[in-house]
Structure 1
Amino acid sequence: MKFGVSFLPDTGPADRPAADYYANALKLSALGDRLGYTYVKMTEHYLKPYGGYSPSPLMFLAAAAAQTKSIRLMTGGIQASFHHPIQLAAEVAQLDAISNGRLELGFARAFLPYEFEAFGIDLDSSKARFQQTIDATVRLLAEESVSEDTPFFRYRDAQSLPRPTQQPRPPVWVAALLTPSSFEWIGERGFNLLMAAPPRKDALAKTQDMVALYRETFERHHGHTGRRPQVAISIPLMIGTSDAHALALAEPRLRHHWRYFADAAKSWEQVQSSAYQGYNEAMKNKMGGMDTADLDATAVLGTPDTVRQRIRALEADLGLDAILWHIDYGAQPYELMSNNLEVFARDVLPGL
């Protein structure tokens, strides 16, 4: 299994200046590179403390590329509905060149109504816009001349420059959460699967079904190529001298994260969309907060031995290929985040 560093800032000016956040995140990216982590990942969100310090994962990762040598740079993910494929393909290939072929191109389907409202984009058309933007971007990266005629963009004989350093294109990852058709679409396209934190215990069986659906669809459409489906998940990490110590360190910071998430998710209270079936109930549940058992189930907390046990359980439950440690939840100080990366690399990884 591979491991990486995942950033999803839950911070704003009241917590720390943006310059401090980016300086710490770049130092942690360089530390992850030196310690042998495979990936560093940055997400994309706008307007609120939940993710608002990550409006451009490509810009952040370009800075990280200049300070690292081998760690792979993952967008996790670009919210495709808010971008035009010609601009996106060009910027993606530019970063692939700057990093000498280290880009991992991850997409996520935007899900916060206030972001759609701010961009003037209709929620009900978002699934079609999301999928068609990804398809068009991938074609621009992989093909020499591309024409598109969709309800969202139109162009003829476009040759995207620069061309990607990785041929025929960088690896593509797409995030999915609830909808079976989304998992099927990712598998049908032959993309890798990105997932958020592990499910609560009562949702594990459904998540297992969705991952199995993705793998089965991928194998059916692409098994003959020799490629295999890849599944990565982002998970909060906290390592302590005892399980109780790790929980004590993590709990207030995870609750901070969920408070900011609940504030962002409130925008679903007055919104219904046929393109987001089940989201109203899912967001309502998440806004209700989490008890200690839920915190422990959806994060990896404990001593090095406990962390190893949790990794093995996650691998058995979901067949994971990569775990991306979400380390910046709760506006943590740099010393705590760097300690987690160092202790994991020194005391956990050799025993796996």
Structure 2
Amino acid sequence: MRFGLSFLPDCSPKTRAPADYYEDVLALSRLADQAGLDYVKMTEHYLHPYGGYCPSPLTFLAAVAAQTARIRLMTGCVLPVFHHPVQLASHISMVDAISNGRVEVGFARAYLPYEFSTFQVPMDGSRARFEATVNAVDRLLTEEHVDEATEFFAFQDATVLPRPVQQPRPPFWIAAVQTPASFVRIGEMGHGLLITPSGTSFNPALVELYRESFRRHHPHEQPRVAASLPVLVADTDQEARRIADPYLGRYLEVWSSALAKWESTVSTDYANYTGIGHSISAMTAKDMRIFGSAVVGSPAQVIDRIGRFQEQAHADVLLLQTDFGGLGGTDAQRSLDAFVSSVMPALNGQPDGPDPADGREPALAQGSPTP
């Protein structure tokens, strides 16, 4: 199993200054690189404390690339319906060059009504726009002199520069939430699957639908599943809950606020989304911990919880959401240090602590200053 960090900023100038937020997440990214984690992932959103601090994941990942040596850089996700494919493919290739081939591209359909309204992109038809844009980006990264003519965009003889370092192109991932057809379609397309278990239940049958579809259409390749979860590790379960619960409560409050427009929004491309804010607004931090949509506790508790999740999901990559509710500073760094030193080795069947022979530094040395 591979591990990484997943960032989705859910703060505003009233709760955290932008410079402070980025100082923390860049410090965590450096620590993750030093500790041997495999990924840093950042999400794109606009206009709201729910993700609004990162309108450009690729810009953030370029900064991470400049401060790290080996960790891979994942968009999680970019929202292609709000971008022209030539622009998006060009930016992907640029960061792939800056990082010397460390970029992996996660795409998501977007689902917040106010974003569609602001960009004047209709929600109805967005599924087709999404797939057309992803397919065009794929062609632009793997081909030269590309022609495209769709109802959403058209261009001729396009060769994006720079060309990607990774050949034939950086790996693609696509996010899915609850629609079975989406999981099947991602398998058909042959891309990796991104999931963020939330609410009070996780349906492993949806992930299996993806795997079955992938194997059927791409028998000589392997499906890949990456899961993002809020995670906090402390010395004891009580201490972990004391730290995490206020931030989980803020995370739910911000997320619920972002979903408010779904009270009056109906879209044929988003079946069963109307009213989805009710379930999130009714949840508590305790609910997230009990139902496994957040993993909080001592190392032993976190190992057990992740083990139970893996019995159902069999994820290839686990991405720790360490910035939930605006959490940062010493608490976030200590949590990452505890995960690296006490949780990750156990999940991988290794002795506690880093192997001196591998040349890696622990996530936090004793007495390390807090950025």
- TM-score bracket, normalised by the shorter chain, equals over 0.9
- 2: CA distance between counterparts of 1:138 and 1:246? 43
Give the C-alpha shift of residue 198 in structure 1: 4.8
Give the C-alpha shift of residue 291 in structure 1: 5.9
Q: Deviations over 1:270-315 (max 9, x none)?
A: 1100100011143332233336233332111111111111121111
What amino acid sits opposite 1:221 in the alignment? Answer: H
Q: Is the 8 A contact 2:234 2:338 kept in 1?
A: no
- 1: CA distance between counterparts of 2:332 and 2:151? 44
Indicate the residue corresponding to 2:296 in structure 1. Answer: 301
- 1: CA distance between counterparts of 2:207 and 2:199? 12
Indicate the residue corresponding to 1:347 in structure 2. Answer: 342
Indicate whether 1:128 and 2:122 are aligned: no
Indicate the residue corresponding to 1:220 in structure 2. Answer: 216
What amino acid sits opposite 1:310 in the alignment? Answer: R
Indicate the residue corresponding to 2:60 in structure 1. Answer: 60
Indicate the residue corresponding to 2:354 in structure 1. Answer: none
Describe the SS at the equivalent of 1:77.
strand
Q: Is the 8 A contact 1:219 1:228 kept in 2?
A: yes
- 2: CA distance between counterparts of 1:294 and 1:35? 28
TM-score by length of 1: 0.96
Indicate the residue corresponding to 1:209 in structure 2. Answer: 205
Indicate the residue corresponding to 2:138 in structure 1. Answer: 138
Q: Is the 8 A contact 1:195 1:233 kept in 2?
A: yes
Indicate whether 1:73 and 2:68 are aligned: no
Indicate whether 1:82 and 2:82 are aligned: yes
Indicate whether 1:284 and 2:278 are aligned: yes
Indicate the residue corresponding to 2:323 in structure 1. Answer: 328
Gaps of 5+ in 2: 348-371
- 2: CA distance between counterparts of 1:339 and 1:242? 13
Q: Is the 8 A contact 2:25 2:328 kept in 1?
A: no
Describe the SS at the equivalent of 1:276.
coil
TM-score by length of 2: 0.91
Q: Is the 8 A contact 1:241 1:303 kept in 2?
A: yes
More helix as a share of residues: 1
- 1: CA distance between counterparts of 2:275 and 2:48? 22
Q: Is the 8 A contact 1:254 1:295 kept in 2?
A: no
Indicate the residue corresponding to 1:15 in structure 2. Answer: 15
Percent identity for Structure 1 against Structure 2: 47
What amino acid sits opposite 1:180 in the alignment? Answer: P
Describe the SS at the equivalent of 1:320.
coil
Q: Is the 8 A contact 1:18 1:53 kept in 2?
A: yes
- 2: CA distance between counterparts of 1:30 and 1:240? 21
What amino acid sits opposite 1:301 in the alignment? Answer: V
Report matched runs for 1:39-50 at 5 Å.
39-50=39-50
Indicate the residue corresponding to 1:32 in structure 2. Answer: 32
Q: Is the 8 A contact 1:174 1:194 kept in 2?
A: yes
What amino acid sits opposite 2:109 in the alignment? Answer: R
Report matched runs for 1:119-268 at 5 Å.
119-198=119-198, 200=200, 203-204=201-202, 207-223=203-219, 225=220, 227-268=221-262
What amino acid sits opposite 2:259 in the alignment? Answer: A
- 1: CA distance between counterparts of 2:70 and 2:285? 39
Give the C-alpha shift of residue 14 in structure 1: 0.4
- 2: CA distance between counterparts of 1:127 and 1:95? 26
Q: Is the 8 A contact 2:199 2:279 kept in 1?
A: no
What amino acid sits opposite 2:228 in the alignment? Answer: S
What amino acid sits opposite 2:247 in the alignment? Answer: R
What amino acid sits opposite 2:204 in the alignment? Answer: Q
- 1: CA distance between counterparts of 2:285 and 2:75? 31
Q: Is the 8 A contact 1:247 1:302 kept in 2?
A: yes
- 2: CA distance between counterparts of 1:291 and 1:166? 41
Give the C-alpha shift of residue 199 in structure 1: 5.2
- 1: CA distance between counterparts of 2:326 and 2:199? 23
Indicate the residue corresponding to 1:316 in structure 2. Answer: 311
Q: After alignment, is 292-301 or 104-113 more displaced?
A: 292-301
- 2: CA distance between counterparts of 1:143 and 1:23? 38
- 2: CA distance between counterparts of 1:348 and 1:198? 22
- 2: CA distance between counterparts of 1:246 and 1:278? 35
Indicate the residue corresponding to 2:98 in structure 1. Answer: 98
Indicate the residue corresponding to 2:362 in structure 1. Answer: none
Count of residues in Structure 1 that have an aligned counterpart in Structure 2: 346
What amino acid sits opposite 2:297 in the alignment? Answer: G
Q: Is the 8 A contact 1:198 1:233 kept in 2?
A: no
